[in-house]
C-alpha cells in the first residue's frame, strides 16, 4: 500500500449497510455489505425505522471487517466519504455520523457524497477508461433517471420518472402477483420460464423529441387490469411481458439521448442494471460506435466502494465537507 491514497467509504442510504476501502479511487482493497432484505420481506418494501436501526447495529462491524481484511490501521486512511443524499433520512444519518466520527478522531477530510453520482462511478472501479462526457442511466428501486455527465461533480439531469422508479414498479407488480420481495430478481427468473413470449401490454410512453421522462404507473395498472380480466393467465407470461415493457423504455430513452446529443459513451448503473435481460436489450440496440459500461452485479447494488471511489475525486480537488454537513432525502 506504499504511496497509495487510501479512503474509506460508508453507505447506508436505504437497506444495505456497506463499507469499503479503496486505493487511489480505483482499486477495491476491502469491502463489506450487509443486506436487510430478510428484515423487510414480510412488508414487501423497506420500512424506514427498521432500516435505520439495522444500519446502526452493523455499521461498526462492517468498518471493522474492512480494516481487518485490508490489514491496515486507521492512521493509513487519508479521507472518509459517506453518502449524504438522497435516501431515507434516518438511514443516511448512520453512515454520515459514523464518517464524521472517523474524520474528527483522525483529523482527516470528510467528504459527503451524492448517492446517484456514486453509482455512476462504479464502472471506474473495474478498470474501464471512461471518457467524458457520457450519458448515465441510473436505475434502481428508488431512482430512475438519465444524466449528462460532463466530469466528476458536473452532471445534469436530462429526465427522470414521473411516478414510480423502475425497481419500485417491479416490487409492486411482484407484490400484486404474490411473488415475494424484492420483485426484480423474482420477476426476472419467472420471465425466463415464459414460452409463448407474447406482448400482453402496450408500449410505455411514446418516443419523444422533447423529453427523456419515464413513467411506470401505466404498466403497473395494465398488469393489474389484465389479471382481473384473465385470472387463469400464465404468470410467467405476464412476468415476461411486464419486464420487456419496463426495460424497453430504459434502453429507448438512453439511445434517444445518445442520438440527439451525439454522445456515444453510455454508463448504466444502479440495482436494476444487474438485470440480465436489460443488459441483453442494451447490447441488442448497441451500434458499432457506442461504448457501453455496466458494472458487475456486486457494484450495481449499494456499496461502499463507489462512495470511496467518487470521494477520491473530490479529495484530489481538495473539496471537503464540514462536520456540520447534514443529510438530505432528495437529490
Looking at residue 280, its pLDDT comes to: 97
Write down all domains in the chain, each with its CATH number in brackets: 6-121+302-317 (3.30.420.40), 131-299 (3.30.420.40)
- Per residue in 98-151, pLDDT tens? 999 999 999 999 999 999 999 999 999 998 889 999 999 999 988 999 999 999
| pLDDT tops 70 at residue 2 | no
Q: Are 139 and 273 in contact (CB under 8 A)?
A: yes
Looking at residue 141, its pLDDT comes to: 82
Proportion of the chain above pLDDT 90, given as a percent: 93
| pTM across the whole model | 0.94
Looking at residue 207, its pLDDT comes to: 74
Quick one: CA torsion of 9, 10, 16, 21, rounded to 10 degrees?
Answer: 40
Looking at residue 206, its pLDDT comes to: 73
**Is the sign of the CA dihedral 257, 262, 264, 265 positive or negative?**
negative
Q: Give the β-pairing of 77-85 and 27-35.
A: unpaired
- Per residue in 53-100, pLDDT tens? 999 999 999 999 999 999 999 999 999 999 999 999 999 999 999 999
Amino acid at each position: 500500500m506504499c504511496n497509495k491514497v487510501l479512503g474509506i467509504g460508508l453507505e447506508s442510504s436505504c437497506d444495505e449497510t456497506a463499507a469499503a476501502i479503496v486505493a487511489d479511487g480505483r482499486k477495491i482493497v476491502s469491502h463489506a455489505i450487509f443486506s436487510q432484505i430478510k428484515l423487510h420481506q414480510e412488508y414487501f418494501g423497506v420500512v424506514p425505522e427498521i432500516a435505520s436501526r439495522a444500519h446502526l447495529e452493523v455499521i461498526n462491524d462492517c468498518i471493522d471487517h474492512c480494516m481487518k481484511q485490508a490489514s491496515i490501521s486507521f492512521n493509513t486512511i487519508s479521507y472518509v466519504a459517506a453518502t449524504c443524499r438522497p435516501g431515507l433520512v434516518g438511514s443516511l444519518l448512520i453512515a454520515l455520523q459514523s464518517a464524521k466520527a472517523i474524520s474528527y478522531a483522525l483529523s482527516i477530510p470528510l467528504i459527503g457524497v451524492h448517492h446517484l453520482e456514486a453509482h455512476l462511478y462504479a464502472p471506474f472501479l473495474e478498470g474501464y477508461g471512461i471518457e467524458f462526457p457520457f450519458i448515465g442511466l441510473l436505475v434502481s428501486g428508488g431512482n430512475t433517471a438519465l444524466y449528462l455527465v460532463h466530469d466528476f461533480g458536473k452532471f445534469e439531469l436530462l429526465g427522470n420518472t414521473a411516478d414510480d422508479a423502475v425497481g419500485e414498479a417491479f416490487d409492486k407488480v411482484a407484490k400484486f402477483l404474490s411473488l415475494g420481495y424484492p420483485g426484480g430478481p423474482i420477476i426476472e427468473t419467472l420471465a425466463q420460464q415464459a414460452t409463448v413470449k407474447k406482448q400482453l401490454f402496450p408500449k410505455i410512453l411514446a418516443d419523444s423529441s422533447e423529453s427523456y421522462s419515464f413513467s411506470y404507473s401505466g404498466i403497473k395498472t395494465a398488469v393489474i387490469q389484465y389479471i382481473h380480466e384473465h385470472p387463469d393467465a400464465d404468470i410467467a407470461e405476464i412476468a415476461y411481458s411486464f419486464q420487456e415493457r419496463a426495460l424497453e423504455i430504459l434502453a429507448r430513452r438512453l439511445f434517444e439521448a445518445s442520438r440527439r446529443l451525439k454522445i456515444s459513451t453510455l454508463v448504466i448503473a444502479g440495482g436494476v442494471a444487474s438485470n440480465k435481460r436489460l443488459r441483453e436489450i442494451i447490447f441488442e440496440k448497441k451500434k458499432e460506435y457506442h461504448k457501453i459500461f455496466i458494472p458487475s452485479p456486486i457494484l450495481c447494488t449499494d456499496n461502499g466502494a463507489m462512495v470511496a471511489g467518487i470521494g477520491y475525486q473530490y479529495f484530489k480537488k481538495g473539496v471537503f465537507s464540514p462536520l456540520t454537513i447534514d443529510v438530505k432525502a432528495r437529490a
